[in-house]
């Protein structure tokens, strides 16, 4: 508990003022007293108090009135209402207008300790939140991209750099890492930002359809073409074309696209005239294109053309320090959207979010927070609000500190456990003989539990 906390006791009764004063001073708090609301407000003008203990019933200015003024003028100051048994209703009302807690008269010292523990926890959470928020404001050079890990900082400077040029950029990363978000940021920072950003998911179209989407067509170009239509190359002209899932396009399309990139001209389907196009190409993929090239599934000439600059977004589990910032960002977003007053995550909740493997990356984290906010009945989210996150098996395989020996042990242990230590079945699954499995059990000193 933070004994440097400053406490102000506001009560018209001398006995209460004195007993509280003694208790707090003995516990080491810096304590002062005021005998009326007006008196308290004068003192608040002069100095900051972390917590006020305010009697509900006072002549002239009631505890209620004082509470309202304090919450408006000094929102950082916590207020605890002191009230007599039989006026619980008004205590509840006080909580609704911002009191942090209430004490029922007559109270015992351990009740005071409990209240103080709660208050100091709240203050700590609040200051952690303010710190994170300050960090967020400082680093949000890109409206909506959150993260201050080293790899994210590198990405920010890369975005600034590439935005000044027209060079094609390929954005690499697992699902949900924010590839489209980064593509948009490049467009917004570039001098093409007054013309459209046109995203197209290449994986969503069969080849023939993708061709007509990109090149456009003239009336009668094919059955069903009842009118002429501009393709995405033309729509994006002057702006940015973002081809998502570029690893999905056929080799024929790769040849066609390469030509467009070189000549900066297109011909609509069913037409012979050439049209000048001037778009900046950004692309993204979750696949390893170099591997696809080796497998003969992707053209290297096309790859080198779109891969002038590449931006690789690491998976969330490799930049865990971004998790609290992102979590708070989404917490704010969804408590605003749902008009629910859920505004903090406790330590343990943050820890459990940090230890999750996030195979779906930022998108998965966003969904998890949204779900927790929607279902939460309290202001603070705890690990219980995230029990739906399954501990994922991928974590251990991503834990780069695990030695091969430990991994072997862990894996054998899992298989044995899953099969109730049935040696034949486990050996079968592991693809080794029973004798080998016995040897390994002995070597790793494993025992049935
Ligand atoms: N750094 C970040 N800050 C804030 N929001 C983020 C961040 N990264 C991702 N998001 C959010 O996560 C969601 C997924 O991001 P996005 O669609 O850009 O991912 P993606 O890499 O394109 O995924 P996919 O490969 O599945 O298409 C979006 O709602 C996006 O706003
Ligand atoms: Mg995407």
Enumerate the domain spans of the chain.
6-123, 165-312, 316-392, 402-443
Q: Whose CA is nearest to atom 8 of ligand 1?
A: 178
CA distance 240 to 184: 9
Closest C-alpha to 311, from 146, 419, 139, 167: 167
256-265, 322-331, 422-431: segment of lowest average pLDDT: 422-431
pLDDT tens digits along 4-34: 789 999 999 998 899 999 999 998 899 999 9
- What is the DSSP code string of 244-305? ETGGGS-HHHHHHHHHHHHH-EE--BT----EE---EEEEEESS-HHHHHHTTSS-HHHHHH
Question: Ligand 1: does its nearest atom lie under 6 Å from the Cβ of 147?
Answer: yes
Predicted local confidence at residue 89, as pLDDT: 80
**How far, in whole angstroms, is CA 325 from its chain's centroid?**
6
Query: 284 near 170, Cβ under 8 Å?
Result: yes
pLDDT at 167 over 90: yes
Question: Ligand 1: does its nearest atom lie under 6 Å from the Cβ of 199?
Answer: no
Instruction: Tell me, in angstroms, the distance from the centre of ligand 1 to residue 191's CA.
Output: 23
Instruction: Tell me, in angstroms, the distance from the centre of ligand 2 to residue 315's CA.
Output: 14
Instruction: Tell me, in angstroms, the distance from the centre of ligand 2 to residue 397's CA.
Output: 25
Predicted local confidence at residue 383, as pLDDT: 92
Q: Whose CA is nearest to atom 12 of ligand 1?
A: 363
Question: Ligand 1: does its nearest atom lie under 6 Å from the Cβ of 367?
Answer: no
Q: How confident is the model at residue 2 (pLDDT cuts 50, 70, 90)?
A: low
Question: Ligand 1: does its nearest atom lie under 6 Å from the Cβ of 363?
Answer: yes
Predicted local confidence at residue 133, as pLDDT: 64
Beta bridge partners of 28: none
Q: What percent of the chain has pLDDT over 90?
A: 60
> Stretch 123-148: mean pLDDT, rounded?
70
Q: What percent of the chain has pLDDT over 70?
A: 93
pLDDT at 240 over 50: yes
Phi and psi (nearest 5°) for 52? -115, 135
pLDDT at 105 over 50: yes
Question: Ligand 1: does its nearest atom lie under 6 Å from the Cβ of 146?
Answer: yes
Phi and psi (nearest 5°) for 13? -90, 125
Predicted local confidence at residue 137, as pLDDT: 54
| Closest approach atom of ligand 1 to CA 286 | 25
Q: Which CATH class, in words, describes the domain spanning 402-443?
A: mainly alpha
Q: What tokens appear for 433 in the block?
A: 């003989």
Instruction: Tell me, in angstroms, the distance from the centre of ligand 2 to residue 362's CA.
Output: 12
Question: Ligand 1: does its nearest atom lie under 6 Å from the Cβ of 145?
Answer: yes
CA distance 80 to 19: 16
Residue with tokens 């004082």: 66
Instruction: Tell me, in angstroms, the distance from the centre of ligand 1 to residue 162's CA.
Output: 20
pLDDT tens digits along 306-315: 999 999 999 9
> Stretch 65-91: mean pLDDT, rounded?
86
Task: Please enumerate, as own/partner, the contacts of 117-125 that have beta carbons within 8 Å and a separation of 24 or more.
Answer: 117/1, 119/50, 119/51, 119/78, 119/80, 120/1, 120/2, 120/5, 122/78, 123/2, 123/5, 123/50, 123/78, 124/2, 125/344, 125/346, 125/380
> Stretch 239-252: mean pLDDT, rounded?
95
Instruction: Tell me, in angstroms, the distance from the centre of ligand 1 to residue 179's CA.
Output: 6
Find the DSSP H helices in 58-192: 63-73, 88-96, 109-139, 150-163, 179-189
Instruction: Tell me, in angstroms, the distance from the centre of ligand 1 to residue 329's CA.
Output: 13
Question: Ligand 1: does its nearest atom lie under 6 Å from the Cβ of 366?
Answer: yes
Instruction: Tell me, in angstroms, the distance from the centre of ligand 1 to residue 212's CA.
Output: 28
Query: 315 near 353, Cβ under 8 Å?
Result: no
Q: Whose CA is nearest to atom 30 of ligand 1?
A: 178
Point out the ligand nearest to the CA of residue 333.
Answer: 1
- Tell me the helix, strand and coil percentages in the chain, rounded to 5: 50, 15, 35
| Closest approach atom of ligand 1 to CA 365 | 12
What angle in degrees, to the nearest 10, is found between the helix axes of 88-96 and 63-73? 10
> Stretch 80-92: mean pLDDT, rounded?
80
Q: Tell me the pTM.
A: 0.64
Query: 358 near 364, Cβ under 8 Å?
Result: yes
Q: Among 148, 246, 320, 363, which residue has the most ligand 1 atoms within 8 Å of its CB, making it the best to mutate?
A: 363
Instruction: Tell me, in angstroms, the distance from the centre of ligand 2 to residue 47's CA.
Output: 52
Predicted local confidence at residue 395, as pLDDT: 45
**How far, in whole angstroms, is CA 330 from its chain's centroid?**
5
39-43, 210-214, 255-259, 429-433: segment of lowest average pLDDT: 429-433
Query: 378 near 342, Cβ under 8 Å?
Result: yes
pLDDT at 215 over 80: yes
3 state SS of 156: helix
| Closest approach atom of ligand 1 to CA 171 | 21
Closest C-alpha to 244, from 196, 303, 213, 204: 204
Neighbour-count burial of 273, counting CB atoms closer than 10 A to its CB (0-12 exposed, 13-18 middle, 19+ buried)? exposed
Q: What is the mean pLDDT of the chain?
A: 88
Cα end-to-end span (Å), the chain: 41
CATH topology for the 165-312 domain: Rossmann fold (3.40.50)
Find the DSSP H helices in 310-403: 323-337, 347-355, 361-375, 394-398
Predicted local confidence at residue 252, as pLDDT: 94
Report which DSSP code applies to 387: T
Q: What is the CATH number of domain 6-123?
A: 3.40.50.2300
> Stretch 229-252: mean pLDDT, rounded?
94
Query: 249 near 210, Cβ under 8 Å?
Result: yes
Question: Ligand 1: does its nearest atom lie under 6 Å from the Cβ of 168?
Answer: no
pLDDT at 331 over 90: yes
Question: Ligand 1: does its nearest atom lie under 6 Å from the Cβ of 175?
Answer: yes
pLDDT tens digits along 366-390: 999 999 999 998 999 999 999 888 7
Predicted local confidence at residue 319, as pLDDT: 96
pLDDT at 188 over 70: yes
CATH topology for the 316-392 domain: Helicase, Ruva Protein; domain 3 (1.10.8)
Q: Is 165-312 the same fold as 6-123?
A: yes
Question: Ligand 1: does its nearest atom lie under 6 Å from the Cβ of 409?
Answer: no
């Amino acid at each position: 508990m933070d004994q440097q906390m400053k406490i102000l006791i506001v009560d018209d009764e001398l006995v209460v003022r004195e007993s509280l004063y003694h208790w707090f001073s003995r516990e080491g708090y810096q304590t002062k007293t005021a005998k009326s609301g007006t008196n308290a407000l004068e003192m608040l003008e002069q100095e900051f108090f972390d917590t006020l203990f305010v009697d509900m019933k006072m002549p002239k200015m009631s505890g209620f009135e004082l509470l309202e003024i304090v919450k408006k003028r000094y929102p950082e100051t916590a207020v605890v209402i002191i009230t007599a048994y039989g006026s619980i209703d008004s205590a509840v009302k006080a909580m609704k207008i911002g009191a942090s807690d209430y004490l029922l008269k007559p109270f015992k010292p351990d009740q005071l300790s409990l209240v103080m523990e709660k208050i100091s926890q709240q203050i700590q959470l609040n200051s952690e939140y303010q710190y994170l928020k300050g960090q967020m404001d400082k680093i949000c050079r890109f409206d909506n991209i959150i993260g201050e890990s080293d790899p994210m900082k590198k990405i920010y400077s890369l975005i600034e750099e590439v935005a000044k040029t027209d060079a094609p950029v390929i954005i690499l990363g697992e699902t949900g890492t924010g590839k489209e978000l980064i593509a948009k940021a490049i467009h917004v920072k570039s001098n093409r930002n007054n013309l459209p950003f046109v995203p197209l998911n290449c994986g969503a179209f069969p080849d023939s359809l993708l061709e007509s989407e990109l090149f456009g067509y003239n009336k009668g170009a094919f059955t069903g073409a009842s009118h002429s239509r501009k393709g995405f190359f033309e729509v994006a002209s002057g702006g940015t074309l973002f081809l998502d899932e570029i690893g999905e396009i056929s080799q024929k399309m790769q040849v066609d696209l390469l030509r467009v990139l070189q000549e900066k001209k297109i011909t609509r389907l069913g037409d012979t005239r050439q049209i000048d196009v001037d778009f900046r190409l950004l692309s993204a993929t979750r696949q390893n294109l170099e591997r696809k090239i080796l497998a003969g599934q992707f053209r290297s000439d096309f790859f080198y053309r779109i891969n002038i600059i590449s931006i690789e977004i690491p998976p969330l589990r490799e930049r865990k320090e971004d998790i609290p910032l992102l979590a708070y960002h989404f917490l704010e977003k969804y408590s605003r959207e749902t008009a629910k007053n859920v505004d903090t995550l406790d330590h343990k909740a943050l820890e459990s979010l940090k230890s999750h493997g996030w195979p779906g990356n930022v998108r998965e984290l966003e969904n998890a927070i949204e779900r927790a906010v929607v279902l939460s009945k309290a202001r603070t989210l705890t690990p219980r609000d995230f029990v739906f996150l399954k501990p994922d098996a991928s974590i251990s395989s991503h834990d780069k500190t695990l030695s091969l020996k430990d991994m072997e042990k862990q894996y054998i242990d899992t298989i044995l456990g899953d099969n109730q230590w049935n040696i034949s079945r486990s050996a079968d699954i592991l693809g080794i003989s029973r004798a080998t499995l016995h040897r390994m059990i002995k070597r790793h000193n494993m025992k049935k539990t």
